[in-house]
C-alpha cells in the first residue's frame, strides 16, 4: 500500500508563499485547508485551486475561528502581517496578530497532537554582528525600535514554540525565512523587489534608502516552499534557516531589475531607514545537512519569472490592493 495522504491546514494560505505551498501540497495528493483573513493575502492567488476536491478555502482570522472544527495531520502557520510601513504605522495590530494567532494555533495543536511548522523570519537576527547568520546566533535587536513589533513577535513566537514543546510535548519545527520573492504579491506590497519592478515598468524612479550598499539574501518562492515541505516531513525541532546563500547589494539589485525590465528609470537615493540592517545572509549548513535542501533558482532567473508575472497581471489589471483591510 502507498503512503497515506495527509490533511494540512495552511494559515495565511492566500499569501504568495502560502498559496504556492497550498498548490504544492495539493499537487502531491494531500488535502489542504487554506485559511486566510485576506488582510494581506488575496483570494485570486488560489483561484486555480477552486473546484479541486482536495482544496478548501476558509476566509477566517486564525485568532477568532473555531479551530476545533478542523481535523488535520499538520499545520503550516504562516499567518502574519508584515512590511516595514505597516509595522511602523500599525505596531499594535502587527504584534498582536502574530502573538495571538500563534498562541491559538499552538494551544489547539498541542491538545489535538497535531504537528506544527511555525514560519519565523530572518528579522529575528536584527542588525547582525555575526555574518553569515547561523541558527545558533541569538541576534542583535532593539525591542523598542521601529521594526520591533514584527521582530519581537517572531522571536516571542519561537519562544512559544519551545515552551509548548517542553510542557505539552508539541511536535514543532521552526523555519527562518530570508527575503522571499516571487509571483503572487499585492500591488501595495512594500517589499523591495515588487516595488522596484513596478516602478521600473512605470518608468518611475527606483527609490533606494541610504547608499544602497546594504545587502540582502533573496530566495525565490518555489525554493522556499520545497524547504518548508521538507522541514515539515523531517520532524526536526531546531530552527532551520531557509534562504539563498549569496548576498546582493540593494543598488546592484536595482541595476539588475532595470536591465531585465529594459527600463530607463533612474535610481533615486533617499535618507536611510532607521535601524535598517546593513547585512543579511543565511548560513544554510543545517538545511543542507538535515533536509538535503538548497535553493536552485538564481536571482536573475527568479527576477525574470517575477517580472513576467507582474507584467502579465498589470496588463490585465489584476494586481489587487485593499487599503480598507490593511
SS3 percent helix, strand, coil of the chain, rounded to 5, is 40, 15, 40
How far apart are the C-alpha atoms of 307 and 201, rounded to whole Å?
A: 9
Residue 76 annotated in active site:
no
How far apart are the C-alpha atoms of 138 and 32, rounded to whole Å?
A: 34
How far apart are the C-alpha atoms of 95 and 176, rounded to whole Å?
A: 18
Asked if omega into 278 is within 30° of 0 (cis), the reply is no
> Which one is catalytic: 125, 150, 181, 220?
150
Please check whether residue 7 is in contact with residue 55, taking contact to mean a CB–CB distance below 8 angstroms: no
CA 150 from centroid of its chain's CA atoms: 12
* 245-268 exposure pattern, b = at least 16 Cβ within 10 A, e = fewer: bebbbbbebbeebbebbebebebe
Angle 78-83-89 from CA coordinates, rounded to 5°:
120
Please check whether residue 81 is in contact with residue 93, taking contact to mean a CB–CB distance below 8 angstroms: yes
What's phi and psi for 269, nearest 5 deg? -95, 125
Q: Which residues does 219 contact at the CB level (< 8 Å), separation at least 6?
A: 177, 178, 179, 180, 181, 242, 243, 244, 295, 297
For 182, 199, 260, 303, 313, the CA distances from 308, given in Å and listed in that order, are 10, 14, 10, 9, 9
Give catalytic residue positions: 150
Amino acid at each position: 500500500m502507498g503512503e497515506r495522504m495527509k490533511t494540512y491546514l495552511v494559515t495565511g494560505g492566500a499569501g504568495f508563499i502560502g498559496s504556492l505551498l497550498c498548490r504544492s501540497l495539493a499537487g502531491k495528493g494531500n488535502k489542504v485547508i487554506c485559511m486566510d483573513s485576506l488582510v494581506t493575502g488575496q483570494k485570486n492567488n488560489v483561484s486555480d485551486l477552486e473546484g479541486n476536491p482536495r482544496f478548501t478555502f476558509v476566509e477566517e482570522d486564525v485568532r477568532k475561528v473555531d479551530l476545533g472544527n478542523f481535523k488535520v495531520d499538520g499545520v503550516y502557520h504562516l499567518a502574519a502581517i508584515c512590511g516595514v510601513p505597516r509595522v511602523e504605522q500599525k505596531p499594535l495590530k502587527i504584534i498582536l496578530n502574530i502573538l495571538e494567532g500563534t498562541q491559538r494555533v499552538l494551544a489547539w495543536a498541542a491538545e489535538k497532537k497535531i504537528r506544527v511548522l511555525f514560519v519565523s523570519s530572518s528579522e529575528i537576527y536584527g542588525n547582525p554582528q555575526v555574518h553569515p547568520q547561523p541558527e545558533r546566533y541569538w541576534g542583535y535587536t532593539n525591542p523598542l525600535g521601529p521594526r520591533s513589533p514584527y521582530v519581537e513577535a517572531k522571536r516571542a513566537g519561537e519562544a512559544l514554540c519551545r515552551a509548548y514543546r517542553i510542557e505539552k510535548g508539541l511536535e514543532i519545527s521552526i523555519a527562518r525565512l530570508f527575503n522571499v520573492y516571487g509571483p503572487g504579491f499585492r500591488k501595495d506590497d512594500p517589499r523591495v523587489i515588487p516595488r522596484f519592478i513596478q516602478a521600473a515598468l512605470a518608468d518611475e524612479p527606483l527609490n533606494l534608502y541610504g547608499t544602497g550598499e546594504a545587502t540582502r539574501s533573496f530566495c525565490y518562492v518555489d525554493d522556499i516552499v520545497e524547504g518548508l515541505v521538507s522541514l515539515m516531513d523531517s520532524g526536526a525541532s531546531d530552527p532551520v534557516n531557509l534562504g539563498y546563500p549569496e548576498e546582493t547589494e540593494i543598488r546592484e539589485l536595482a541595476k539588475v531589475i532595470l536591465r531585465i525590465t529594459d527600463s530607463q528609470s533612474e535610481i533615486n537615493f533617499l535618507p536611510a531607514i532607521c535601524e535598517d540592517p546593513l547585512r543579511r545572509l543565511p548560513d544554510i549548513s543545517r538545511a543542507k545537512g538535515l533536509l538535503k535542501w538548497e535553493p536552485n533558482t538564481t536571482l536573475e532567473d527568479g527576477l525574470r519569472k517575477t517580472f513576467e508575472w507582474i507584467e502579465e497581471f498589470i496588463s490585465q489589471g489584476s494586481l489587487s490592493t485593499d487599503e480598507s483591510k490593511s
